[in-house]
Amino acid sequence: MRTGLDRLATHPTLGAELRSSRVGLLAHPASVDRRLVHARRVLDALGVKVSMIFGPEHGYGGEAQDMIGVADARDPDGAPIRSLYGERFEDLSPTPEDLARIDVLVVDLQDVGARYYTFVWTAVLAMRACARAGVRMLVLDRPNPIGGDLARIEGRRQARLYCSFVGLEPLPVRHSLSLGEIVAWRADAEGVARDQVRVLGVAGLARDAHATAWDRPLVMPSPNMPGYETALVYPGGCLLEGTNLSEGRGTTRPFELVGAPWLDGARLADDLHALAFPGVRARPVTFMPTFHKHARSQCGGVQIHVTDPPAFRPYATYLALVALARAQQPARFAFRTERYEFRDDVPAFDLLTGGSEARERILRGDPPRDVAGSLAAVDDADRAIVAEAAAAVRGRLVE
């Protein structure tokens, strides 16, 4: 398997093009080649001078926790690092002043296949800013670690009112797309010229392959995404951010651990198993987060173990978990009401699920299987959006 970054090193024309241009780089810790050499050093080795570096949420170095603003800095070679994650929504895009310093922006970001993971939306916002400024964009694409099987999409697209930085455009939750495909889709939809936004795609990998088939590790792209197992559950596990349940931040198994001080983990596991979701087992646990929700408090709950990745339905499984936890302790369970990803006018759970229906039905006490089944199901329009995005990249691929 060769990612866009791997292919760049031997491409017959791109190296020369970049050497003759003022280059910016949008990257993070997972922007590495098959030898685990970072994109910054790959560009150095090609003789490409990087004039400007941009870092997404969590920072160029990946040190910051979720929803923590990141300051500007400089890299060890003195290049300015501009943060694209500050205190305001406006901070998420490169400024015209920054883009005036470059001719082309090279983007190399590892996505994990869920609508809410913000790196793809940082890339889309950067694409829009580049288009306005007349700056070219080259996306060095990477595979989706939980596979690109278009039959595996899950979780209906969000209504326009519920679009946010955890989903700038309507898209199913588990979308089976790569970052390059989503950027190309938006560039086509927004009328950006094909020579303005190009994608150097992945070679030598079946579309439906998971990260377990790669010839390298999945380098953690953010502090709470340590590996493939986390990415596999994340399209469901991130829903916990919209509740007062711990999503395992402050432990070594974020998003796999689910709990709260008032939960009975054995009962939660039994209740989930009674629903017979495929490819998953829940193991009762107790755990104590070192930070974040319920820090230094013992939580009861479960660890989610995926036993059959192709069959596993993360979004449906975790919707059911949320509903079961609420049914167990309705007086102590709560949905998050604080500001979430630059929005304070819509509950976080609604931004994540794409509407108010899931939250309202859970509060009403609807059967967890019914809630999960209907909200996780996709329709023909959802499938059409994903197919359109998967096809859009073909017209923008660099041969």
Q: Tens digits of per-residue pLDDT, 304-345?
A: 999 999 999 999 999 999 999 999 999 999 999 999 999 999
Whether the predicted pLDDT of 246 surpasses 80: yes
> Can you tell me which residue has the tokens 């931004």?
351
Answer yes or no: are the C-beta atoms of 242 and 218 closer than 8 Å.
no
Which amino acid appears at position 55 of this protein?
G
> 76 Cβ partners below 8 Å, 6+ apart?
none
Task: Copy the structure tokens of residue 300.
Answer: 């009861």
CA proximity to 364, closest of 323, 319, 320: 323
Q: Which ranges constitute the DSSP H helices of 175-311?
A: 179-189, 228-237, 265-274
How high is the pLDDT of residue 265? 98
pLDDT band (50, 70, 90) for residue 77: confident
Q: What are the structural domains, with CATH classification, of the chain?
A: 4-143+178-223 (3.40.50.12170), 228-376 (3.90.1150.140)
pLDDT band (50, 70, 90) for residue 399: confident
Answer yes or no: are the C-beta atoms of 186 and 126 closer than 8 Å.
no
How high is the pLDDT of residue 59? 86
What is the DSSP pairing of strand 257-260 with strand 136-140? unpaired
> 353 Cβ partners below 8 Å, 6+ apart?
155, 158, 239, 242, 319, 359, 375
Answer yes or no: are the C-beta atoms of 156 and 378 closer than 8 Å.
yes
> Can you tell me which residue has the tokens 């819509």?
346
User: Which residues does residue 259 pair with via DSSP β-bridges, in sequence order?
Assistant: 246, 301
pTM: 0.97
Average pLDDT over residues 111-115: 98
How high is the pLDDT of residue 69? 78
Share of the chain above pLDDT 90, in %: 94
Sign of the dihedral defined by the CA atoms of residues 277, 263, 335, 340, in that order: negative
Give the mean pLDDT of the chain.
96
Task: Copy the structure tokens of residue 299.
Answer: 């939580």
What is the DSSP pairing of strand 80-83 with strand 73-74? antiparallel
Q: Rounded to 10 degrees, what is the CA torsion of 235, 241, 243, 248?
A: 90
Whether the predicted pLDDT of 104 surpasses 80: yes
pLDDT in tens, 4-31: 999 999 999 999 999 999 999 999 999 9
Average pLDDT over residues 124-142: 98
pLDDT band (50, 70, 90) for residue 113: very high
Answer yes or no: are the C-beta atoms of 143 and 3 closer than 8 Å.
yes
- What are the two backbone dihedrals, phi and then psi, of residue 67, each rounded to the nearest 5 degrees? 60, 30
Average pLDDT over residues 240-263: 97
| Adjacency order of strands within the sheet including 299-306 | 257-260, 299-306, 280-287
> What is the spatial distance between Cα 73 and Cα 230, in angstroms, rounded to a whole number?
29
Whether the predicted pLDDT of 217 surpasses 90: yes
Helix (H, G, I), strand (E, B) or coil at 203: strand
